[in-house]
Amino acid sequence: DAGITQSPRHKVTETGTPVTLRCHQTENHRYMYWYRQDPGHGLRLIHYSYGVKDTDKGEVSDGYSVSRSKTEDFLLTLESATSSQTSVYFCAIRKNTEAFFGQGTRLTVV
């Protein structure tokens, strides 16, 4: 599993509340990614990081922000959750040329 831990694994939150998802890695990989998975869309990149404090947007970044203050942690924040952000969120790391994914966080916004 490339030492990736996502937390929480499941979360239900109310519309308009802020939510932070955490991705923790144990192998000091430079690149980390946040994807969301929705039926009919596969996985889509939200944000990624190429080092501490170095982040960039992906294809579906609106409504999301990220932070990486330490190599091992990559945080995804929904500033004000909406029902359209109900999804399964996956963190990934890049090891050599391959991407390894965490177990996912199922987020439901009610």
Partner 1 sequence: QQQVKQSPQSLIVQKGGISIINCAYENTAFDYFPWYQQFPGKGPALLIAIRPDVSEKKEGRFTISFNKSAKQFSLHIMDSQPGDSATYFCAASGTSNTGKLIFGQGTTLQVKP
| Chain residues that interact with partner 1, rule: CB under 8 A | 31, 33, 35, 40-45, 48, 50, 56, 58-59, 90, 92, 94, 97-104
Q: Which is nearer to partner 1, 18 or 90 (CB)?
A: 90
Q: Which is nearer to partner 1, 20 or 95 (CB)?
A: 95
Q: Which is nearer to partner 1, 17 or 50 (CB)?
A: 50
Query: By three-state DSSP, how is residue 89 classified?
Result: strand
- How far apart are CB 103 and partner 1 at their closest, in Å? 5
- How far apart are CB 17 and partner 1 at their closest, in Å? 25
| Cβ atoms 107, 38 nearer than 8 A | no
Strands 10-13 and 105-109: parallel
- How far apart are CB 74 and partner 1 at their closest, in Å? 14
**How far is 9 from 6, CA to CA, in rounded Å?**
7
- How far apart are CB 105 and partner 1 at their closest, in Å? 10
Burial group, residue 59, by CB count within 10 angstroms (0-12, 13-18, 19+): exposed
Q: Which two tokens stand for residue 104?
A: 């996912």
Q: Which is nearer to partner 1, 58 or 63 (CB)?
A: 58
| Cβ atoms 78, 28 nearer than 8 A | no
